[in-house]
Amino acid sequence: MSETSPGGPSAGAGTPKPPMRDALVAAAFRLFLERGYEQTTVDDIVALAGVGRRSFFRYFPSKEDVVFPDHERCLAEMTEFLKSGPPQDDPVARVCDAARLVLRMYAENPTFSVQRYRLTKRVPGLRAYELSVVWRYERALADHLRTRLTDRRDGTLHADVIAAAVVAAHNNALRSWLRADGEGDADAFVDRALDYVRRTFGAAAGPAARTEEGEDVVVLVARRGVPMWRVVKEIESVWAD
């Protein structure tokens, strides 16, 4: 089966996973590709994997879930990563690095990721599933930013907007890489995209924009094209306290 298998989603993953789970994913994708997603039932999948229905539902709540077998793990990793950062970390840099965990999950297995991308584009139900997963990542980033920006006026607004920008940048990079059949350097795509977000929000993002340990020096770096009023506003925001 290895020649037609998409390789399974866990190749390269750090933690070992039950072989049965991998076998179910591999069987499911083989059938999805051969007959189409809608034409494949859970019964077909378990028959090919050689296990019972109950085994399937032990690992996956529904047929949709077998298409995205690693998001729960990745969401848990992201939450852990966000919690574990030192408090003086630049919050925008932190959420950008958290988004890289998602890209890494895709990049671990390019063939599988590209196949799933094509499948998801064709099946509206999977697209809806994916949107709800993306929304959960975005909430995780926004929740983290909210805790870090509480002392800022409009902190929750800024948190929501920055989280959405990070997710959009990540997804733009991920799509570019998937459309290139997963052949380019995924990290290069996402570095470039997240760099734009960091440049845009970095200075406005919080304590890091001020000075180390509150010394009485303010350093402002601005592009010449930026209108004067915006520069003044930016200075005012750090001058205040």
* Candidate ranges 4-12, 71-79, 88-96, 203-211; the one touching its own copies (CB under 8 A): 203-211
Nearer to its own copies, 28 or 141 (CB): 141
Nearer to its own copies, 15 or 239 (CB): 239
CB of 112 to its own copies, least distance (A): 24
Q: Does 226 bind its own copies (CB under 8 A)?
A: yes
DSSP helix/strand/coil, 82:
helix
CA angle centred on 31, ends 137 and 17, rounded to 5°: 50
d(CA 44, CA 50): 10
User: Which of 231, 163, 173 is CA-nearest to residue 201?
Assistant: 163
Single-letter amino acid, residue 96: C
Q: Provide CB contacts within 8 A for 73, sequence distance 6+.
A: 13, 15, 105
Nearer to its own copies, 27 or 205 (CB): 205
CB of 176 to its own copies, least distance (A): 9
d(CA 174, CA 194): 11
Q: Does 54 bind its own copies (CB under 8 A)?
A: no
* Candidate ranges 27-35, 91-99, 107-115, 124-132; the one touching its own copies (CB under 8 A): 124-132
Q: Does 5 bind its own copies (CB under 8 A)?
A: no
CB of 148 to its own copies, least distance (A): 16
Q: Does 75 bind its own copies (CB under 8 A)?
A: no
Q: Provide CB contacts within 8 A for 72, sequence distance 6+.
A: none
User: Which of 193, 11, 192 is CA-nearest to residue 107?
Assistant: 11
Judged by CB under 8 A, the residue of 161, 180, 187, 191 near its own copies is 161
CB of 219 to its own copies, least distance (A): 5
CA quadruple 28, 29, 32, 33: dihedral sign = negative
* Candidate ranges 32-40, 66-74, 104-112, 156-164; the one touching its own copies (CB under 8 A): 156-164
* Candidate ranges 36-44, 77-85, 92-100, 210-218; the one touching its own copies (CB under 8 A): 210-218
d(CA 90, CA 145): 10
Q: Provide CB contacts within 8 A for 222, sequence distance 6+.
A: 231, 234
Binding site for its own copies (CB under 8 A): 127-128, 131-132, 135, 154, 156-158, 160-161, 163-165, 167-169, 171-173, 192-193, 196-197, 199-204, 208-211, 216-228, 230-233, 235-236, 238-239
